[in-house]
Amino acid sequence: MTTNTMHVALEVADLTRSTAFYGALFGLPAAKEHDDYAKFEVADPPLILSLQPARGDVARGALSHMGVRLPSAADLRAARERLEAAGVDLREEPMTTCCYAVQDKLWATDPDGNPWEFYVLLEDADVHSEPATECCASDASCCP
């Protein structure tokens, strides 16, 4: 991958139905599909859409988080430096397993409370997530 790719994660009421809908909408099958997660990787426009069952009192169709998948660790460092210089509060999450992938992540929250992640995909994983890290224990949005 040589470009940044927009990432959006949605909480859905019916994962099977939503996976079928987005497959039809984008005209392609899910790139990754499990009982508790589905991911579409759309080439044009570059978008990664992940779907997961809504938990607890989360509204159906609610936005879980937005993000940008970056092509390299150097790009992640550059994003961190740029955001720090702008005075944005950041939370780092290195080598985390989440959404069936191992990733290095950087989190920021916009003024309205919407979480944004910048991340580098390191490798696929066989599990949705590892046991909660300190970050996940204090903020469930970091490990949807």
Q: What CATH number corresponds to the domain at position 97?
A: 3.10.180.10
How many domains is the chain partitioned into structurally? 1
Say how many CA atoms lie within 13 Å of 30 toward its Cβ.
19
Q: Please give the Cα distance from 8 to 26 (Å, whole number).
A: 14
Q: Domain containing 16: what range?
A: 5-142
pLDDT tens digits, 62-108: 788 888 899 999 999 999 999 999 889 899 999 999 888 999 999 99
pTM for the full predicted model: 0.70
